[in-house]
Structure 1
Amino acid sequence: MTARQLSWTLRRRVVALLAVVGVLLGVSVAVEIAVAAKNREHIHTLLDRTGPLRIQSQELLNVLVDQETAVRGYAVTGDREDLEPYVQGAEREQQLYRSMEPLIDVHPALARELGTVKAQAADWRRTIAEPVVVATERDGTAAGQALITDQARQRFDAIRASVAELQQGILDQREKGADDIYRTSSILVVLLIAAALVVVVAGAVLLISLNRMVVRPLTSLAEQIREVAEGDYQHHIAGSGPPEFEQLAADVDAMRQKIAKDLAEVREARESIEWVNSQLQKQAEELVRSNRDLEQFAYVASHDLQEPLRKVASFCQLLQRRYAGQLDERADQYIAFAVDGAQRMQRLINDLLAFSRIGRLTTGFTEVDLNKVMGDVAGQTESARQYAAAELTWGELPTIRGEEPLLTNLLANLVSNSIKFRRPDVPPKVHVSARLVGDEWEIRCQDNGIGIEPEFADKIFVIFQRLHSKDAYPGTGIGLAIAKKIVEYHGGRVWVDTDTAEGTAIRFTLPALPEDLEAARAAEQQAAEAPAAEAPAAEASDAGKPAAAADPAVEGAAGAEPPRQGGSRAERADDASQSDSTGGVKETVT
């Protein structure tokens, strides 16, 4: 093959082969169509012309014979009825001429012979038949028989001979037409065989070409790819065959090179990651040990500090009671400072101990009804609410999985802070509501207190972080840190809603139960199916919307000190103390 042929693409080769086969088949089809048309014409001539002509020529002979017989019989008997076949035969003869002439005009020789028969028959009637009929009618049968001579019979025999020649000519045309049909049919068969041979040869050539140009190169390429797939990424992939396959092999080899390069980088990265993972594992183990030691230290320290603190507080209180008024005023002030410091240290230690126990000492998760929890919270905060004339309300709250003591502590801290950080001369109002957001319940504790500036929203959850002085708002500043740890222990998150127009809104999320999610989906589907139906007032239950308020809440957290003054935003900003989720300083009530 030449270099030009070797550069042909597979598409070009296939197109060239199909073009040659198409041309051959097209020529064959064209010839077959022409031969088939000729064959159909021969069949038409044989069936629609020659066949009827043969039958009508025989009938023509019979009609002429009937006329001659009728004339001879009439001359013998003189009976007019014997002449009837002559009259009918003459009419039928003319009909046959009219029928045969359109069929025979394509054969000039037969047309001339038919004209000869027609002329001879007409001359016979004029010179023989009609004179015999007239003579018989006028002069009797003897006169008519006298006209029927040998010459008359010879003239009719001439008509017979002409009709026989016509029939023979028609028979010759019929045989010629049959030969033409046979010949054209044979040609059609030959052409069909040739077309079949073209198809078979083209198929064989195509099969051989595909095997040579497609199958072999593809098999070779597949074998090389398998070698690479088995791990020999350095094996060079070479292509053969048409240019497309060579290009494909080049592309696959380029991909192999890129994969080999990426694998080398991956190996290096994996080794680096394994080293980093080993370091991280060591650090994680060290962090676990450190956290365990820290928790143990906080727990032990808080316990170990209790005894000396109790002793200090007890003796300071004893000094205060026994020697109050016996010393000077400055000594009484110093003793009061010592008693207050010891008591505050006890509260700090107790809060730190409570903080360290969250998630470490667990009773296991159960289904907790937050409505019942709020009832307990209302009881715990009753004294503080009565002191501050506070109002506590809540909507329909969900049932979630968690630890009831921790959740009670969480809500009690939020409600206590809302009552503590109130505005002066404004009765506190606290409302707790819930709504379903996605697959979580979002709980909202809203109050009308002093609020919190957005820039301090993240600081209030830091342990011992305060935004006010302890004289403005009592407490240790660990309440919201405990609340945050409880929420995160239950798989949620907590934040301050800074978009509240008045007071403070603390929001936190808790995972919803599967049945609540299914009920919410069913409600949404029902609402979609009946959009015209009036939606009932939804309580913050399955639909996730807050409902009407339940009980007025009772005030105060058990054991909490009532706030001595309202405090302002400016005061909270000046102090680095912890802020309440409802807008004031938050602390754990002990």
Structure 2
Amino acid sequence: MNGRKWTLRRRVTTMCVLIGVLLAALATIGVVQAAQNRTHLDTLLNKSGPLRTGSEALLGTLLDQETGVRGYAVSGDPVDLVPYQRGVEQERDLLTQMDGLLTDEPDIRRRVGQIREQAEQWRAVVAVPVIDTVNTSGTGAAQALFDEQSRVRFDVLRAEVQQLQEEILALRNEIAGDARQTGNTLVVLLVTAAAVVLIAAGALILWINRLVINPVTVLAGQVRLIAAGDYQRDIERVGPPELARLAEDVDGMRRRIAADLAEVREARTRIEWINSQLQKQAEELVRSNRDLEQFAYVASHDLQEPLRKVASFCQLLQRRYAGQLDERADQYIAFAVDGAQRMQRLINDLLAFSRIGRLTTGFTDVDLDEVMTQVAGQTEAARQYASGEVTWSDLPVVHGEEPLLTNLLVNLVSNSIKFRRPDVPARVHLSARRTGDEWEITCQDNGIGIEPEFADKIFVIFQRLHSKDAYPGTGIGLAIGKKIVEYHGGRIWVDPEVTEGTAIRFTLPVVADEPAADEPGGSDAADTGDDEPAQRPDGVKETVA
């Protein structure tokens, strides 16, 4: 295969394999040499050293034996014989130790055996007879035994020991030479391995520079020209197959970008025209919404005065001429009074709905426990009429407009009391729990409940699920509540999982600097007058009508 078609991975892999094989061979030789060097050093430390020390000690013990025997032959004192006896024991121990170290050296071991035999012969021929003669015939006869022959016999023994020392020294020098040679071989191997690594690193750097860095630099320069806007420039294919394929991919991307760019330019012209039309429509919509809001406010506000006159005169007619006309006339006047009053309530609710978010007092920290105290006071009459009970617990401090939040809770509590079950006292409970960065507040009652299919309709303005004769009102309360909650950055919904009564939940953001672990405690309950609220045994504070 042509070398130019070799991939970069194949080239790098081949080079790494060759270098690895060479380094592995050097490492194998190094391991063998290191093992031999370790063996030589172990022999030097654990064999030749103890052998040299033992041979010197052996010569000393023989001299001690000879000196002890001579001293005993002169004095006859047993104390002078102690060095001899101790030397015999040390000699045996040293010979046994040296014999164990010479299992791989038969010549030196044979020399040790000869020394053992000659020492035994010297003791049998010289030492033991001298000692026995001292014990039987006295020192004079014993001294006569130390003749020239006994001296020559000991000199021969001493020469054998010196010869042993020379052989041990020769062994030590041989092992040291071998250790030095293996050490030098290891150094040569390390230098060779370092040279191989350096040469390979240099070759790899030059190779990468020629096969990777230079082609990538050329490719990067072409890409920069394309990035600068020259989308019609063809990408030159350089370097190994991988980079050539990369250049082809980049060139394909360039062609697609050029085609897409042409489409984008064409689409941009259309989008700019559409955006200009949308901008005009958005400005017109904002102006229309502002005019509509202003119209609703002005229209409802301007209707107040003529409507008050209509209501006032209708009520005046009802009071002054009641019973003077026929029964049908009284009924017509009552219809007119009721319609005028309902129209006033609708206009007032519409004004309140339009003011939310427009007339603002500014956001402050609002304690919902204190707000519930006001709510309990405002709903006192309705609660007394319905024998109702309002309780709350764990209400937090939130950031918002206190009048709006008060209006929200009044609407929720009033609805819960109004839509109660017949002959069942109304029970309303408010609670809160923290979910992430929001407080989820729940208003739950034991009333008639809401069917799931109507759960979203109750928040539509003027939407009613019941006739005004069954449950009075304009149908705007929950719509106002929804607008207040959304104005504060929350959401409101009916919990469909509650089967008994109704549970309306809404969220409000947590105060920014409030710790996540903080939970609000129970608040002081709302007061129905100047009396203190009752507290139930479970710790939930409540207001009872």
| TM-score (structure 2 length as normaliser) | 0.65
Shift of 1:258: 5.8
Contact 2:115/2:160 (<8 A) preserved: yes
Q: 2:22 aligns with which of 20, 23, 47?
A: 20
Q: CA offsets, 1:503-546, max 9 Å, x none?
A: 434333333446876564699xxxxxxxxxxxxxx6799xxxx9
Q: 2:364 aligns with which of 349, 363, 366?
A: 366
Contact 1:43/1:181 (<8 A) preserved: no
2:188 pairs with 1:191: no
Find the residue that maps to 1:551 and give its secondary structure. Answer: strand
Structure-2 change in CA distance of 1:224 and 1:427 (3 Å): same
Query: 1:46 & 1:381 partners in 2: Cα distance?
Result: 111
Find the residue that maps to 2:544 and give its secondary structure. Answer: coil
Give the match for residue 391 of structure 1. Answer: 388
- Listed as ranges, the matches of 1:339-488 within 5 Å are 339-386=337-384, 388-396=385-393, 397-424=395-422, 426=423, 428-438=425-435, 439-448=438-447, 450-488=448-486
Give the match for residue 564 of structure 1. Answer: none
Contact 1:238/1:249 (<8 A) preserved: yes
- Listed as ranges, the matches of 1:106-255 within 5 Å are 106=107, 180=174, 184=178, 187-188=181-182, 190-214=184-208, 216-220=210-214, 223=217, 226-227=220-221, 230=224, 232=226, 236=235, 240=239, 246-247=241-242, 250=245, 254=249
Structure-2 change in CA distance of 1:31 and 1:353 (3 Å): closer
Contact 2:219/2:236 (<8 A) preserved: yes
Structure-2 change in CA distance of 1:193 and 1:345 (3 Å): closer
Query: Share of identical aligned residues, percent?
Result: 43
Query: 1:109 & 1:504 partners in 2: Cα distance?
Result: 113
2:505 pairs with 1:507: yes
Q: CA offsets, 1:140-164, max 9 Å, x none?
A: xxxxxxxxxxxx99x9999999999
Query: 1:19 & 1:518 partners in 2: Cα distance?
Result: 63
Give the match for residue 534 of structure 2. Answer: none
Query: 1:345 & 1:519 partners in 2: Cα distance?
Result: 49
Query: 1:428 & 1:395 partners in 2: Cα distance?
Result: 17
Q: Which amino acid aligns with 2:542?
A: A
Shift of 1:453: 2.4
Q: CA offsets, 1:11-41, max 9 Å, x none?
A: 3422322222332343355356557757987
Structure-2 change in CA distance of 1:159 and 1:428 (3 Å): closer
Shift of 1:372: 3.9
Contact 1:57/1:166 (<8 A) preserved: no
Structure-2 change in CA distance of 1:333 and 1:220 (3 Å): same
Query: 1:305 & 1:415 partners in 2: Cα distance?
Result: 30
Shift of 1:359: 1.4
Q: Which amino acid aligns with 1:480?
A: L
Q: Gapped runs of 5+ residues in structure 2?
A: 76-80, 127-132, 138-146, 526-537
Deviates more, 1:252-261 or 1:409-418: 252-261
Shift of 1:398: 4.0
Query: 2:305 & 2:313 partners in 1: Cα distance?
Result: 12
| TM-score (structure 1 length as normaliser) | 0.61
Query: 1:419 & 1:405 partners in 2: Cα distance?
Result: 21
Shift of 1:459: 1.3
Find the residue that maps to 1:298 and give its secondary structure. Answer: helix
Query: 1:43 & 1:248 partners in 2: Cα distance?
Result: 61
Query: 2:365 & 2:484 partners in 1: Cα distance?
Result: 16
- Listed as ranges, the matches of 1:220-369 within 5 Å are 220=214, 223=217, 226-227=220-221, 230=224, 232=226, 236=235, 240=239, 246-247=241-242, 250=245, 254=249, 268=264, 275=272, 283-314=281-312, 316=314, 334-369=332-367
Shift of 1:360: 0.8
Query: 2:311 & 2:382 partners in 1: Cα distance?
Result: 26
Larger RCO: Structure 1 or Structure 2 (Cα < 8 Å, ≥ 6 residues apart)? 1
- Listed as ranges, the matches of 1:61-100 within 5 Å are none
Query: 1:28 & 1:384 partners in 2: Cα distance?
Result: 101
Give the match for residue 527 of structure 1. Answer: none
Give the match for residue 544 of structure 2. Answer: 552
Q: CA offsets, 1:179-233, max 9 Å, x none?
A: 7467546633552443244223312332223223445544336535754775745
Query: 2:156 & 2:191 partners in 1: Cα distance?
Result: 52
Give the match for residue 532 of structure 1. Answer: none
Q: Which amino acid aligns with 2:464?
A: R
Query: 1:26 & 1:445 partners in 2: Cα distance?
Result: 84
Contact 1:440/1:509 (<8 A) preserved: yes
Q: Which amino acid aligns with 2:391?
A: W
Q: Which amino acid aligns with 1:552?
A: V
Structure-2 change in CA distance of 1:362 and 1:33 (3 Å): closer
Give the match for residue 78 of structure 2. Answer: none
Shift of 1:4: 11
Shift of 1:296: 0.4
Structure-2 change in CA distance of 1:163 and 1:404 (3 Å): closer
Shift of 1:440: 0.3
Give the match for residue 143 of structure 2. Answer: none
Q: CA offsets, 1:221-277, max 9 Å, x none?
A: 653575477574578586746xxxx54774697489669968986994995998577
Shift of 1:460: 1.5
Shift of 1:418: 3.5
Count of aligned pairs = 496
Structure-2 change in CA distance of 1:2 and 1:434 (3 Å): closer
Specify the structure having the higher radius of gyration (Cα). 1
Q: CA offsets, 1:279-303, max 9 Å, x none?
A: 6655544443232112101011112
Query: 1:412 & 1:58 partners in 2: Cα distance?
Result: 118
Find the residue that maps to 1:106 and give its secondary structure. Answer: helix
Query: 2:177 & 2:33 partners in 1: Cα distance?
Result: 14
Give the match for residue 141 of structure 2. Answer: none
Structure-2 change in CA distance of 1:494 and 1:322 (3 Å): same
Give the match for residue 575 of structure 1. Answer: none
